[in-house]
Structure 1
Amino acid sequence: MPVSHQGNAVTNAVTIVSESVCEQVMGRQDAFTAIENVFAAMAKKDACNFPVVREAIGHADAIYGFKSGFDREGKVLGLKSGGYWPGNTRLNLTNHQSTIVLFDPDTGRLKSLVGGNYLTALRTAASSAVSIAHLARKDSKVLGMVGAGHQSTFQLRAALEQRNFEKVVAWNLHPESLPVLAAVCEALSVPFEAVNRKALCAQSDVIITITSAFEALLDSDWVKPGTHIACMGTDTPGKQEVDPRLFARAKVFTDEVVQSITLGEAQHAMAGGIIKETDIVPIGDVINNARPGRTNDEDITLFDGTGVGLQDLAVASVAAELAVSENLALVLDLD
C-alpha cells in the first residue's frame, strides 16, 4: 500500500492527520468559526447528531464510545471514537483518547483519519467562547474559572479573546493546580487571583465551570445579575456543577437540547421541575438571529455545553483541509 505526501495525485486517498499536525495547523479562531457554523447549522436542522454510544468495556476501568453525525450544510459525515482511560496518567498519556473518522458523504468511502485529543480540547473551549461572544455583556471585565484541569487552559485562552477582561479569578478543589491558570494569565499580562467560590461569583462577569464534579459547586444566591455562566463539565448523568435553582433565574442556552436535559447541567433542574424543555434555547438560534439571547445587562445567561459529535467533525474537517493545504497531511492510496 503506497504512502505519499498530500499534493501528489492520489486515487481513493485517505488523508491522515496526526495529533502533532493538528496542533500545528488548527488555531483557536479556526475552531471558533467551525463551532459557530455547526451550531448554526444544527439550529436550522441542516446538521444532525446521531445517538451516542458510551459503555464501560470491563477492562482498564475504561469508558469507550462513539459520537457521530452529519452536517448537510458543511458536507461533513463521520464519527469520533474514543473514551476515558484513568490509568493513562501512569503511562504519561492523556486519559482521554480519541480519533475522528470522516467519510465522503456522497459515496460513504473513508476520507480522513484525524487525531482527536487536541481537537477535543480545542472544540470544547471554542464552544464556551462562542457562548461568551453571543451571550456575555460587552463590558464584562472579570472572568471566573472553576476548575484547573487539562481542559482549563484551553478554556481560559479562548475566553480571554472574547472580551476585554481585566482580571481572572479562579478556584479549584485542589488549589495546587491553580498555577497552570496563573501562568497563562502571566504570559498574557492579565492579573490573576485565587479566591473562594463565593468571592469568585461576587466578582465575576463571566464564569466558566470545567470540572468533573457530581455536586453543585456554585450556589444560585452567589451569582450576581448580569453574569454569563458557561457550564462545560457536565456531560454524563449524575454530574453537576451548579445549583439547579440557578436555572429559575437564568436564560438557558445549550448546544443540543436533548443532551442538555438528559446528561447536561440542565438534567437536575429538569428532574426538580424547575424548568421545562421548552425553556432551553439552542445557541444556534441566537447565532442565526432566530431567537434573542441576552436582552439586558441584568440577565443571567447560562450555556449548558454538553459536547456533541458534530463539534468534533467540524474541527476535524477544517484541520484536515488545513493540513492538506499546508502539505502536512499523509495520504494512503487504497487502490
Structure 2
Amino acid sequence: MFVVPEHMIAGLLTAEDAFAAVEAVFAAMATLDAYNFPVVREALGEGRQYGFKSGLDRAGGALGVKAGGYFPGNAARGVINHQSTVFLFDPESGILQAAVGGNLLTALRTAAASAVSIDRLARKDARVLGMVGAGHQAVFQLRAAAKVRQFERVIAWNYHPEMLPQLATVAEELGLPFEAVPLERMVEADVIITITSAPEFSLASAHVSVGTHLACMGTDTIGKQEVDPQILARAAVFTDEVAQSLTLGEAQHAAAAGLISAGDITPLGAVITGAAQGRTSDAQITLFDGTGVGLQDIAVAAKTVELARARGLALEVAL
C-alpha cells in the first residue's frame, strides 16, 4: 500500500486538481456511477464528533472511507479542530491501496465543491463576494471562489471579529478590497459563502438580495444551522446529495418547517451532466447545500495518490 502523509498534500494537490476531481465525482453521482454509503457519526461529548464517510466511485475506479471528525479542544493543542484520514481500497479485491492525510484534503474538497456550485449557478456578472465565517476553511473557500468569478471586492462577517484579519490577508493577496461588515450589509453580495459550525442561523432572509448565489458549506450534522430556512423557501436549492441534505444539511431545518421537500432539491451533479437546469434567471436566488459527502474525499485522495506516485513521493509499505 501507499502512504501520502499530511505534510505532502500542500505540494501535491492544487485547487484546480480538487475542482476537477469533485466536479467529476458529482457528475458520476448523477449518472449513478458513484454512490455514498450511509454516514456513521457519533458524539463523543464536549463538542467532539467522530465518524466515517465512505462510498464507491465506479467511474473513477475508487472505493474508500474517510475516518475522522471535529475536536474543538485541538486549538489548545496547537493543531486544527478537524482531523481525518482517507483510506482507499481496490474495488475488485478489497485490498487496501493507500492511506492519505485528510485534513488539508477536507478543506480543499469543501472549497472545491463550493467553487463548482459558484461556477455552475452564480450569475456570470457576480462581482461582490460575501463571506460568513472566518475559521480554518474560510481562506480556502475565498481562494477557490476567486478562481471561478472575477470578484471586485470581498465583504465578510464572523461571530468572532478578531478572526477576520486572516481573510483580509488572503483577499489582499488576491488583489481584492476587503471590508468587515454587519450581516445586514450582505445584501450587497452577489455570492455568499457560509462556512461556520453554528447551532443556529446567523444569515437571515432579509440579508439576501434577489439574484444571489449562496454556497452553504458548514452544516453537515444534525442540529447545525447557518441560514434562515426562509432563504431556502425563496431559492432554487441544489446539493451534493439530496438524502444527506435533508437529514444532515441546511435543508433539514427548512424541511422540518414544511417549507421544502426532497422534490424541491436538485443534485448539482445533474446540472453538471445537463440532466437538470441550473440558474434560470438573473433574479433567481440559488443555494447550494454542501453537506460534504464521502465521495468527495475519495476523489481528491485518489488524485493525490496518483500525483504522489507519478512524482515518486508516495511511501510504499507492506501491511
- Show the counterpart of 1:257: 242
- Show the counterpart of 1:80: 66
- Show the counterpart of 1:10: none
Are 1:226 and 2:211 counterparts?
yes
Are 1:281 and 2:266 counterparts?
yes
Which whole-Å CA distance do the structure 2 matches of 1:232 and 1:33 have between them?
18
Q: Residues 126-275 of structure 1: matches in 2 within 5 Å? A: 126-200=112-186, 202-275=187-260
Which whole-Å CA distance do the structure 2 matches of 1:197 and 1:86 have between them?
25
Aligned with 1:150: secondary structure?
A: coil
Structure 2 residue runs without a partner (length 5+): none
Task: Give the residue type in structure 1 aligned to 2:138.
Answer: S
Task: Give the residue type in structure 2 aligned to 1:17.
Answer: V
Structure 1 residue runs without a partner (length 5+): 1-13
Which whole-Å CA distance do the structure 1 matches of 2:224 and 2:79 have between them?
24
CA-to-aligned-CA distance 1:250-286 (integer Å, 9 cap, x gap) = 0000000001011100011100111111000000000
Which whole-Å CA distance do the structure 2 matches of 1:255 and 1:108 have between them?
26
- Show the counterpart of 1:44: 31
Considering Cα pairs closer than 8 Å and 6+ residues apart, tell me whether 1 or 2 has the greater RCO.
1
- Show the counterpart of 1:9: none
| 1:33 corresponds to which of 4, 20, 23 | 20
Aligned with 2:297: secondary structure?
A: helix
What TM-score comes out, normalization by structure 2 length? 0.98
CA-to-aligned-CA distance 1:54-102 (integer Å, 9 cap, x gap) = 11346x7632111110001111001001112222222111221111000
Q: Residues 49-60 of structure 1: matches in 2 within 5 Å? A: 49-57=36-44
Give aligned-pair identity as a percent.
62
- Show the counterpart of 2:50: 64
- Show the counterpart of 2:285: 300
Cα root mean square deviation, aligned: 1.1
CA-to-aligned-CA distance 1:294-324 (integer Å, 9 cap, x gap) = 0110110000000000000000000000000
- Show the counterpart of 1:309: 294
CA-to-aligned-CA distance 1:160-204 (integer Å, 9 cap, x gap) = 11100000000011111000000001111110011110112x210
- Residue 221 of structure 1: how far off its partner (Å): 2.4
Aligned with 2:110: secondary structure?
A: helix
How many residue pairs match? The answer is 319
Q: Which structure's CA Rg is the greater one?
A: 1
| 1:102 corresponds to which of 88, 92, 104 | 88
What TM-score comes out, normalization by structure 1 length? 0.93
